[in-house]
């Protein structure tokens, strides 16, 4: 677990009564979650359960059907209000498959947001930032000429992370960062998540169903089940949970006791 000082009263991201449906499918029923400044919050839950949908609300890619999203004291989204342009500059996101631009080399991918948001920067200044971000993910500056097609899955994730931190965000969002990677490469990504928190002081939100990753990087873990957050706790609290649905998920059991009734919708 990362060694970081966290003020439990300093909330960076606040979700209240968050609801989202797609057609007749109710994905988020009532999400309530506080994420503290400087912590790494890991959201776990079954595939297709809505974890990534929560992330997309945080960064303003989706507007809620109900509830509010508040970031650093500013409400960025309600069912009738949707203004995330300014707040997005505080955020970087590592998408599940990296989402690099295939027509651009590594350096151009990292520089993309810089050129879009800071047109006043000279090319020399842009390249200095690219070099700095490559070093943060433990890659040499010469790596900037590599094309995405030349990169392994793990390298693509690392370059995507460098792009996510190009604007020096205060918040980093990770969508299934270790999906599709072997255990050793996954551990490299886990170490980078910890490094970003410690070196940059960012608030991190990690969506994953990889419990090895969750237990390594998390300060706290939130369990999403049937459209609601049913438990939030430290790594030790989650490991020692008495909640049958959380226990089933973290241990990988196929069934739980038939005497236990499911959570109501």
Q: Can you tell me the distance from the alpha carbon of 185 to that of 189, in angstroms, rounded to the nearest whole number?
A: 6
Q: Can you tell me the distance from the alpha carbon of 151 to that of 153, in angstroms, rounded to the nearest whole number?
A: 7
Token code pair at residue 69: 């999203």
| Span between the terminal Cα atoms of the chain, in Å | 33
Task: List residues bridging with 44 in a β-sheet.
Answer: 223
Q: What are the phi and psi torsion angles at 225 (to 5°)?
A: -145, 120
Helices within the chain (DSSP H only) = 51-58, 106-117, 123-136, 153-164, 183-200, 211-217, 235-239, 244-251
User: Do 175 and 207 form a contact (C-beta atoms < 8 A)?
Assistant: yes
Judged by phi (left if over 0) then psi (alpha if -120 to 50, else beta), residue 36 lies in: beta
Domains observed in the chain? 11-251 (3.40.50.300)
Task: List residues bridging with 136 in a β-sheet.
Answer: none
The structure's pTM equals: 0.88
Which of the 8 DSSP states describes residue 210? -
Q: Can you tell me the distance from the alpha carbon of 53 to that of 65, in angstroms, rounded to the nearest whole number?
A: 12
Of 35, 94, 22, 92, which is closest to residue 64 (Cα–Cα)?
Answer: 22
Token code pair at residue 96: 């599940």
pLDDT in tens, the chain (265 residues): 445 555 667 999 999 999 999 999 999 999 999 999 999 999 999 888 999 999 999 999 999 999 999 999 999 999 999 888 778 888 999 987 657 888 889 989 999 888 888 889 899 999 999 999 998 888 887 888 889 888 888 888 889 898 999 889 999 999 999 888 899 989 999 999 999 999 899 999 999 989 999 999 999 999 999 999 999 999 999 999 999 999 999 987 766 654 444 444 4
Task: List residues bridging with 93 in a β-sheet.
Answer: 173
- Can you give the length of the chain in residues? 265
């Amino acid at each position: 677990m990362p060694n970081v000082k966290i003020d439990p009263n300093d909330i960076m991201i606040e979700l209240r009564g968050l609801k989202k449906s797609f057609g007749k499918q109710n994905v988020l029923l009532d999400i309530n979650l506080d994420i503290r400044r400087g912590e790494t919050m890991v959201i776990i839950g079954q595939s297709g359960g809505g974890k990534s949908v929560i992330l997309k609300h945080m960064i303003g890619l989706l507007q809620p059907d109900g509830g509010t999203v508040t970031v650093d004291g500013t409400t960025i989204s309600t069912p009738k209000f949707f203004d995330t342009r300014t707040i997005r500059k505080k955020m970087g996101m590592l998408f599940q498959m990296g989402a690099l631009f295939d027509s651009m080399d590594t350096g151009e991918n990292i520089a993309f947001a810089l050129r879009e948001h800071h047109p006043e920067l000279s090319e020399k200044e842009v390249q200095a930032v690219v070099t700095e971000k490559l070093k943060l993910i433990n890659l040499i500056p010469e790596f900037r000429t590599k094309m995405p097609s030349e990169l392994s899955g793990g390298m693509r994730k690392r370059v995507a992370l460098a792009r996510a931190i190009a604007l020096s965000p205060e918040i980093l969002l990770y969508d299934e960062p270790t999906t599709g990677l072997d255990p050793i490469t996954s551990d490299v990504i886990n170490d980078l998540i910890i490094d970003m928190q410690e070196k940059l002081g960012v608030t991190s939100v990690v969506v994953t169903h990889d419990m090895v990753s969750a237990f390594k990087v998390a300060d706290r873990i939130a369990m999403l089940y049937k459209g609601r957050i049913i438990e939030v706790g430290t790594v030790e609290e989650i490991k020692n949970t008495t909640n049958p649905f959380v226990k089933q998920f973290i241990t990988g059991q196929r069934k739980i006791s038939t005497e236990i009734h499911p959570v109501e919708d």
